Structure 1
Amino acid sequence: MKTTKKAVVSGLAMIGTAVLLAGCGAAPESNGASAGAGASDYLPCMVSDAGGFDDKSFNQLGKEGVDAAAAELGSQDPIEVESQSETDYASNLQSLVDQGCSTIVTVGFLLAPAALESAKANPDMQYVSIDDTVDQDFDGTTDAENIKPIIFDTAQAAYLAGYLAAGVSKTGVVGTFGGINIPTVTIFMDGFAQGVEKYNADNGTSVRVVGWDRAAQDGSFTGGFEANDTARQTAQAIIDQNVDVLLPVGGPIYQSAAVAIQDAGREIALVGVDADVYETDPSVGELLLTSILKGIDVGTKDAIVAAGNGEFDASPFVGTLENDGVGLAPYHDWSDRVPAELTEKVDALKADIISGAITVESYLAG
């Protein structure tokens, strides 16, 4: 597992600079794949990762993007299928091919191998890959010309969240855990840890991060993205180390973390990922310090609208703080507990990351 992850990170790192430029630059010319006969004949489709479309996170955001695009285009109603496990990926993709989909959106790093196989077998179809570059041979380029990657340098926004978390922590211990040890999960944890390190350097403090060792690239993981007792126990083990800010990374696992926080009977702030969880799941709103945002819905909508208008563009898009592809959600119920000077510092750090004065390390930054 560690060898595979290192290979993935190495391959993805090679494309970091080029992808960032593609994400910030002017839209390249279309590659001409399946221009289509018009929006009324256009059929957008989507395959979820195992979290499902009601995960209040990246699967749900992707679906919202596809639905919004279909509504704007006046296209056929999207066909959207949920995967219960990794064994469903290939068959779900084939079912969409068989139903004559124009563009197929796949959600998540784990779907990339099946997406690539399907794309190569159907070169006249269009594919959009959320959260993965589909570079299975690690040569620095997407492995099929009919796949558009939509990826996010979430380490930048997570850096801000880590600084914020260290600043509000009263115990001097913050924590994080993930679903699976893969780059699209650990990029959050890396950024979060770097933000804590920056806070300590700026303030002469020694706030600790529990659950992730950035040097070893290893930490606490549940083994999946389900909200279950394993996720609750993982969160509890971290909370038991005197943590008072907790970042769960992996779709619905935040729900199990919320249960563990409520069971703890003391003030522990929750940090959401992907969506503004305060808005998508008000049941945990009072716990949320902020959420680390990924513009999955916007990026997906833009890609599908372009494809539906015959302007499919396979160039990778990467979300950054500069292009608002990633960011921090409002502090909502925590607003009056975050000192004004801390908010000002977080805003200043955002500006420094955008200007290049601060470089946040990630596999997408090179």
Structure 2
Amino acid sequence: MKKKQFIKATTGGTALLLAAATLAACGSAPDKGSSSGSDEPTTDYLPCMVSDAGGFDDHSFNQLGYEGLEQAKDELGADWKTVESNSENDYKPNIDSLVAAGCNTIVTVGFALSAATVEAAKANPDIDFVLIDDAADNDFNGKVDAPNIKPLLYNTAQAAFLAGYAAADYSKTGVVGTYGGQPYPTVTIFMDGYKQGVDYYDQENDANVKVVGFEGGDKGAFTGGFEANEKATTTAKSILDQDADVIMPVGGPIYQGALTAIKDSGKDIALIGVDADFYETDPDTQPYVLTSVLKNMKQSVYETILAAGKGDFDPTAYVGTLENDGVGIAPFHNFEDKVSPDLQGKLDDVKQGIIDGSIPVKSYLD
């Protein structure tokens, strides 16, 4: 990731001093970057982005959105503004700061920003909003909260199904696990798809691999947030203590708690990443990561901003699937020689079955 300096939100309500008094409120000032290859922008179009509490350097969800915005603004020759959030208290003031800064399109990263995004979109119908991972009450039949919001959604249950199948095939103990940050649909969609994949493996291979940490719905192991804190580590340890030798943490930085638990265990345990390919985004995971469940957020954000910058903003909801390459799973990387030789071929068959509908995968996006 090309690094830049982000201005963190101030949760206590004290803002950084800015020339524009309208931005000197709680939350933080947007950070402005210049277009690649030029000191001056070649367009007046100004795309902007607000992170959720994970921050743009989370090696996952926010980072992918940031990279998509960066790629689009470079191609457009535009300036940009980004602002990070430290907590949910920052979402509304951070969005408001970008409205005041004159942004043409504002991308809000994460379902937690949905309410604040809808409020801002209704109050500012001339600004285009892009909401990642929440439908903003778009029922896909014409009913929408605000006609200037484009939801970017990802049916990760399909990709997680493949990861669950792979985990079950790889497991030596016959136990695999998962846990999440909070039981939001955009979290449990991974866990549910993962469990369905394990169940399908058992059905097709006359096996009895067990999933711990998730029973379905909101019943499972959750840390209560999305921070890489002690609770993330202890929750992961509770999964490993049940003899799981594959674990999939769902919730941005909480995977770091699983990584700590794996290292402390001294056991041969595999990690499954989510959102991004952890092998690529966080080299510290390379000895442990079996595969990752991917959201192609970078591409969908890039395409959306590029179109908006050219005057072709389309508020129609986007849903990433296996068929349109909006979701998928990463290569096995260092585990290539550790998995069954025929596993990839089986996964290819399962993927095709999901695409053609012969293998059903349930998710809230249905």
With the shorter chain as reference, the TM-score category is 0.7 to 0.9
Give the 5 Å matches for 1:91-102: 91-102=93-104
**Partner in structure 2 of residue 118 of structure 1:** 120
Matched residues in 1 for 2:202 and 2:142: separation? Answer: 35
**Partner in structure 2 of residue 64 of structure 1:** 67
2:334 aligned partner, one-letter code? D
Matched, 1:44 2:47: yes
Where structure 2 has 5 or more consecutive residues not aligned to the other structure, the ranges are: 1-40
**Partner in structure 1 of residue 146 of structure 2:** 144
**Partner in structure 2 of residue 348 of structure 1:** 349
**Partner in structure 1 of residue 171 of structure 2:** 169
Tell me the CA shift for residue 140 of structure 1. 7.5
Tell me the CA shift for residue 217 of structure 1. 3.4
2:218 aligned partner, one-letter code? Q
Given the superposition, is the C-alpha separation of residues 70 and 196 from structure 1 closer, same or farther in structure 2, using an over 3 Å criterion?
A: same
Tell me the CA shift for residue 210 of structure 1. 0.4
Secondary structure in structure 2 of the residue aligned to 1:363: coil
Please give the root-mean-square deviation of Cα atoms over the aligned residues, in Å.
1.4
**Partner in structure 1 of residue 160 of structure 2:** 158
Matched, 1:231 2:232: yes
2:72 aligned partner, one-letter code? A
Secondary structure in structure 1 of the residue aligned to 2:286: helix
Secondary structure in structure 2 of the residue aligned to 1:209: strand
Secondary structure in structure 2 of the residue aligned to 1:206: coil
Tell me the CA shift for residue 357 of structure 1. 1.0
Matched residues in 1 for 2:351 and 2:141: separation? Answer: 31
Tell me the CA shift for residue 284 of structure 1. 1.1
**Partner in structure 2 of residue 302 of structure 1:** 303
Matched, 1:55 2:51: no
Where structure 1 has 5 or more consecutive residues not aligned to the other structure, the ranges are: 1-37
CA contact (8 A) 2:52 2:110 kept: yes
Give the 5 Å matches for 1:285-300: 285-300=286-301
**Partner in structure 2 of residue 3 of structure 1:** none
User: Larger RCO: Structure 1 or Structure 2 (Cα < 8 Å, ≥ 6 residues apart)?
Assistant: 1
What whole-Å deviation, never above 9, does each CA across 1:283-337 have from its counterpart, x for those lacking one? 1111000000001010000000000000000000000000000000000000001
Matched residues in 2 for 1:326 and 1:156: separation? Answer: 8
CA contact (8 A) 1:62 1:296 kept: yes
Matched residues in 1 for 2:92 and 2:343: separation? Answer: 47
Secondary structure in structure 1 of the residue aligned to 2:73: helix
Tell me the CA shift for residue 142 of structure 1. 2.9
CA contact (8 A) 2:140 2:317 kept: no
Tell me the CA shift for residue 141 of structure 1. 3.5
**Structure 1 residues 342-351 or 166-175, which shifts more?**
342-351
Matched residues in 2 for 1:100 and 1:116: separation? Answer: 18
**Partner in structure 2 of residue 190 of structure 1:** 192
Bigger fraction of residues in helix = 1
Q: Which runs of 4+ in 1 moved over 6 A?
A: 136-140
What whole-Å deviation, never above 9, does each CA across 1:75-121 have from its counterpart, x for those lacking one? 12x11000100010000000000000000000111100000000000
Q: What TM-score do you get using the length of structure 1 for normalisation?
A: 0.87
Q: What TM-score do you get using the length of structure 2 for normalisation?
A: 0.87
Matched, 1:199 2:201: yes
Matched residues in 1 for 2:139 and 2:328: separation? Answer: 31
| Alignment match of 1:85 (pick from 84, 87, 98) | 87
What whole-Å deviation, never above 9, does each CA across 1:10-44 have from its counterpart, x for those lacking one? xxxxxxxxxxxxxxxxxxxxxxxxxxxx9610000
1:43 aligned partner, one-letter code? L
Tell me the CA shift for residue 138 of structure 1. 11
Tell me the CA shift for residue 136 of structure 1. 8.1
CA contact (8 A) 1:39 1:309 kept: no
